[in-house]
Amino acid sequence: MKGLEEETEYFESRLSEALRGGFGEVLAYVRGGKRLRPLICILAAEAVGGDREDALPAAIAIELVHNASLIHDDIIDENTVRRRAPTAFAEHGKKAIILGDMLFALSCGMLARCGSEVMALVSKAVLDIAVGQYMEFSLRHAENASEDDYIRVAELKTASSFAASAEAGAVLGGGGEAEIRRLREFGRMLGIAYQIQDDVIDILGDPDAETPPGLDIRNGEKTIVVIHALNRASREEREFILKSLSRGRVDADTLLKMRKLLTDLGSIKYSLDLFTEFIEKAKACLDPLEETDAKRRLAKRKLLRIPDVIAEKLESAVRAAGVRAE
């Protein structure tokens, strides 16, 4: 990611070192991705005056947890492509669950180096991810899903790992109570924004996306875009949306019709506005952080770069799709 190349290279190198010694098959399913969570973790440590090396085990553990959850998600949803490559499910079927379990086990080993406070907060995030995933399944079948329902699922399923990354980094960097609280909230706001971004891109498509568009429709997900549309649609439009969500597949024609309908109903614009709101809230959480030396100032500036990277990706997808966003 532009502006974060040095941190990304550092983490990739140390991650490869940590997984050496018989874990080559597992490492193949940890490659790729934007590494947002571990970058947040090490930068949070530096932003409060600490050392990235102290935060590294937690950063690796959280990235392993994230990738384990992706493997399990792909098994549940029978996804065959992720990060432009076959998923573990596509290559190993349901046996891929063992690879996910291995990543969880490896993350426990890394967390053991971090102390009880960090182990407890990351363990809580793992539980939140599982609860959020379970609630998301229930939301698929809910007749009247609300925006509050969606935000709660996004907080648990996605934002919990972002918040844990920032909080763990701040704790391991020796941050004060107020700094830890602000960084945790930064991660939470950013995680919700990231989920909204992911859901909008699934509708719009993106030449740089790691997964093909339409997976949420195929899986019957009640995303913020869909929830907003269902609340504004006519009876005929509502029936089309619900029918599309229940097919278990989505062809190019259906995706185009859905994209046009969601645009015409103002649901794309609404979601983009909501995304911007959470991005701005995330950035505001960093305003009070002290900048008492060059290291802290640089870390804070790089943390602020992460919301911009997420926003730029969404802007690129909007432009590529040529939709009306105003």
DSSP assignment of 106-160: HHHHHHTTS-HHHHHHHHHHHHHHHHHHHHHHHHHT-TT--HHHHHHHHIIIIIH
Is the pLDDT confidence value at 147 over 70? yes
Residues 244-290: pLDDT tens digits?
988 767 788 888 899 999 999 999 999 999 999 999 999 999 999 98
Residues 49-93: pLDDT tens digits?
999 999 999 999 999 999 999 899 888 878 888 877 888 888 889
**Cα distances (Å, whole numbers) of residue 47 to 8, 40, 42:** 17, 10, 9
* Residue located via tokens 């649901």: 267
Distance CA 215, CA 323 (A): 19
Q: Parallel, antiparallel, or unpaired for β 81-82 and 85-86? A: antiparallel
Taking alpha carbons only, the member of 318, 77, 74, 53 closest to residue 217 is 77
Delineate the domains of the chain, giving CATH numbers in brackets.
Answer: 5-321 (1.10.600.10)
pTM, to two decimals: 0.94
